[in-house]
């Protein structure tokens, strides 16, 4: 009869720590659609003072209190594209008033993001053929070319060591070898099974490219490292050896956690979560084609994991175990029951929730409407569930487009 290893001897994930009173923000995956939706979300949060170096104030039915500063922004895929750009411009944005913030955010963040949204990196063509950036015929893995395009458009050779210190930005990918979430941040990169590389000098573009490496076309994103790059094994890292430490194969962070929530939920009492991921759609006729049915099975599994994470978060809010807000690209803005929210017809927002989640060109009008929608629903969720005393918005960022 085989022996059973004691639980204490088995490898364990990050041990739960006491919850911090400060706040964290999670930005989901979802390609360019998520990138633009979260751009609107960040625009509104910046106006409301979330990036300032001061505590946030909660005003709720069970009391008023200071909950601490925003200390973490965790992101996946399309969320990581915009989050990384925000990070590089953060020092120029963090302590501005609403008017000054609008001007700077539009110039430093929105402009470059919208320019990128007009360029196809990967997506379905009008003829139904999957296309990737034109230099894909060149040597090297696909993801490296995507990372180069991101670097040219947004990051200009900056590395993880160029990220700010006051707010920790984390870009999440999925380690296809260990099955764990791989974190990229300024202090370290790695996962709880393989270990950590401290103070990594990796380019932000490579980190974001890995976070957005959706399979099968853009994955894997392979990191060629040295075993000596990792912190020595403390006896708990059962994959702390080659090839796990020398050739790390990563994919889109959404494979593991498309909300980017895990790296926040274990540590922070106040959570803000923006979800622009692909809504699950019922399918009356299921193809017997192996590729199609395999893809459908993955969609069903992903939907179940996402539903569990959302349910866990909402239940924690309802039980007053956590504070904050959750908003979703496919929500009816009416669920927030806010009398003075911006007008967002459900028919229009449902159409925006159907915009493809690829890295393909989005037309100017779609860009504006996605930004407007992220702005409006973030505003409604935060003022309805976190602080009803915050001032309402004057209007949409792009009033000529509305929704």
Does residue 99 sit in helix, strand or coil? helix
Q: pLDDT averaged over the chain? A: 87
pLDDT band at 27; cut points 50, 70, 90: very high
Q: How far apart are CA 120 and CA 358, in angstroms?
A: 9
Is the pLDDT at 138 greater than 70? The verdict is no
Percent of the chain, pLDDT > 70? 83
The mean per-residue pLDDT over the stretch 104-130 comes to 82
The pLDDT, as a whole number, for residue 49 is 95
Is the pLDDT at 387 greater than 60? The verdict is yes
Is the pLDDT at 360 greater than 50? The verdict is yes
Does residue 304 sit in helix, strand or coil? helix
The pLDDT, as a whole number, for residue 6 is 40
Is the pLDDT at 279 greater than 90? The verdict is no
CA distances (Å), origin 368, targets 27, 229, 399: 19, 43, 9
The pLDDT, as a whole number, for residue 281 is 60
- Exposure string over 132-161, b if 16+ CB within 10 A, otherwise e: bbeeeeeeeebbbbbbbbbbebbbeebbbe
Answer with the residue of higher pLDDT: 17 or 205.
Answer: 205
The pLDDT, as a whole number, for residue 362 is 96
Per-residue pLDDT of 86-100, as tens digits, reads: 999 999 999 898 899
The pLDDT, as a whole number, for residue 63 is 64
Is the pLDDT at 224 greater than 90? The verdict is yes
The mean per-residue pLDDT over the stretch 137-149 comes to 77
The pLDDT, as a whole number, for residue 216 is 77
The two beta strands, 20-27 and 268-275, are parallel
Would you list the domain boundaries of the chain? 20-280+288-401
ω into 243 cis (within 30 of 0): yes
Q: What helix, strand, coil percent values describe the chain, rounded to 5?
A: 40, 20, 40
Is the pLDDT at 378 greater than 50? The verdict is yes
The pLDDT, as a whole number, for residue 3 is 41
Per-residue pLDDT of 294-316, as tens digits, reads: 555 556 566 556 667 777 888 88
Please state which CATH number belongs to domain 20-280+288-401: 3.40.1090
Check: pTM over 0.85? Answer yes or no: yes
């Amino acid at each position: 009869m085989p022996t059973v290893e004691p639980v204490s001897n088995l490898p364990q994930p990050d041990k739960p720590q006491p919850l911090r009173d400060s706040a964290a923000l999670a930005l989901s995956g979802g390609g360019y659609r998520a990138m633009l939706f979260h751009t609107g979300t960040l625009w509104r949060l910046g106006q409301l003072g979330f990036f300032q170096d001061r505590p946030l104030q909660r005003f709720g039915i069970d009391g008023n209190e200071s909950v601490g500063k925003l200390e973490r922004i965790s992101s996946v895929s399309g969320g990581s594209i915009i989050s990384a750009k925000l990070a590089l411009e953060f020092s120029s944005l963090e302590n501005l008033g609403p008017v000054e913030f609008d001007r700077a955010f539009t110039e430093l963040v929105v402009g470059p993001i919208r320019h990128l949204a007009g360029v196809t990196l990967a997506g379905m063509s009008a003829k139904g053929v999957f296309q990737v950036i034109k230099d894909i015929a060149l040597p090297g893995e696909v993801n490296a070319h995507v990372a180069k395009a991101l670097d040219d458009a947004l990051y200009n050779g900056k590395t993880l060591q160029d990220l700010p210190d006051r707010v920790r930005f984390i870009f999440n990918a999925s380690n296809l070898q260990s099955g764990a979430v791989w974190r990229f941040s300024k202090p370290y990169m790695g996962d709880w099974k393989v270990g950590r590389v401290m103070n990594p000098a990796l380019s932000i573009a490579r980190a974001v490219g890995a976070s957005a490496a959706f399979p099968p076309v853009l994955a894997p994103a392979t990191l060629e490292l040295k075993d000596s790059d990792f912190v020595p094994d403390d006896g708990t890292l059962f994959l702390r050896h080659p090839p796990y430490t020398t050739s790390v194969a990563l994919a889109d962070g959404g494979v593991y956690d498309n909300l980017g929530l895990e790296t926040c939920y274990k540590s922070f009492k106040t959570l803000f979560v923006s979800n622009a991921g692909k809504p699950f759609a019922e399918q009356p006729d299921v193809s017997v084609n192996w590729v199609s049915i395999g893809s459908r099975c993955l969609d069903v599994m992903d939907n179940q994991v996402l539903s569990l994470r959302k349910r866990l978060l909402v239940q924690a809010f309802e039980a007053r175990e956590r504070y904050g807000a959750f908003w979703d690209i496919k929500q009816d803005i009416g669920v927030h029951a806010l009398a003075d929210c911006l007008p967002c017809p459900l028919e229009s927002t449902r159409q925006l929730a159907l915009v493809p989640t690829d890295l393909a060109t989005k037309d100017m009008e779609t860009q504006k409407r996605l930004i407007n929608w992220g702005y409006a629903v973030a505003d409604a969720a935060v003022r309805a569930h976190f602080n009803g005393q915050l001032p309402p918005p004057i209007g949409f960022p792009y009033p000529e487009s509305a929704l």
